[in-house]
Amino acid sequence: MAVADPTLRFERALFREGAALVIGCDEVGRGAIAGPVAVGLGVFLPDVRRMPEGLRDSKLLSEARREALHPLVASWAPFSAVGMADNAEVDRIGIVPGLGLAAMRGLETLVLAGVPVEAAVVVLDGSHDWLTPALADWPETSRPRVVTRVKADRDCATVAAASVLAKVQRDRLMVEADAVHPGYEWTSNKGYASASHYSAIERLGSSPLHRWSWLKQPALF
């Protein structure tokens, strides 16, 4: 069955309604047992042009295709950022607040770059707005408006772009981490659960990058 490419229809509707900016937002690493959770943010203006050819949700792309698309996506978005929350933070505060923390860090990066995020509409994949609570300490006038959309990573080009940005950056970190903590096959599983990953944990113990509460065992390092 053919997979439809994402479009800019939803984003263009938001621009017609008065949005000055649209920020596509998507997370990766939510279900991993090692490494950070990452939230990608891609900022787009009303004059956004046609998306890079072949852009799709990162889950629908091969690793090689994601890597090839990454520089195209990064140049397509006038501004972009990837925020992260590490495994220890996810253990301490939980995965949903961890997503919010990562997104907040990404938005802070955009603010430092001069992006007026308060004028933006953030398109968040899914039906649950986990971002707004994370911004509770921000002045109300500084917060972007958040809209949720089921399957936005599949259907909305800006969210697909954010997905690629986050996935590539997180995957690269896990490949680098594999050289520091070898044996867990992070170059292939990127920290996600697999039989060989669990087998390595049984053999080697957990590492400083594992989400220890998710393993139901104490850290062994």
Residue 145 has pLDDT above 70, yes or no: yes
pTM for the model stands at: 0.94
Confidence of residue 216 (pLDDT cuts 50, 70, 90): low
For 182-203, write each residue's pLDDT tens digit: 999 999 999 999 999 999 999 9
Q: Which long-range contacts (CB under 8 A, 24 or more apart) does 116-119 make?
A: 116/20, 116/21, 117/21, 117/23, 117/142, 117/143, 117/144, 118/142, 118/143, 118/144, 119/19, 119/20, 119/21, 119/144
Q: What's the pLDDT at 219?
A: 41
For 13-28, write each residue's pLDDT tens digit: 999 999 999 999 999 9
Q: What's the pLDDT at 137?
A: 94
Confidence of residue 4 (pLDDT cuts 50, 70, 90): confident
Q: What's the pLDDT at 2?
A: 58
In the chain, the percentage of residues whose pLDDT exceeds 70 is 96
- Identify whether the C-beta of residue 219 lies closer than 8 Å to the C-beta of residue 212: yes
In DSSP terms, which residues pair with 26 in a beta bridge? 40
Measured CA to CA, the distance from residue 99 to residue 220 in angstroms comes to: 26
Confidence of residue 177 (pLDDT cuts 50, 70, 90): very high
Segment 68-78 shows an average pLDDT of: 97
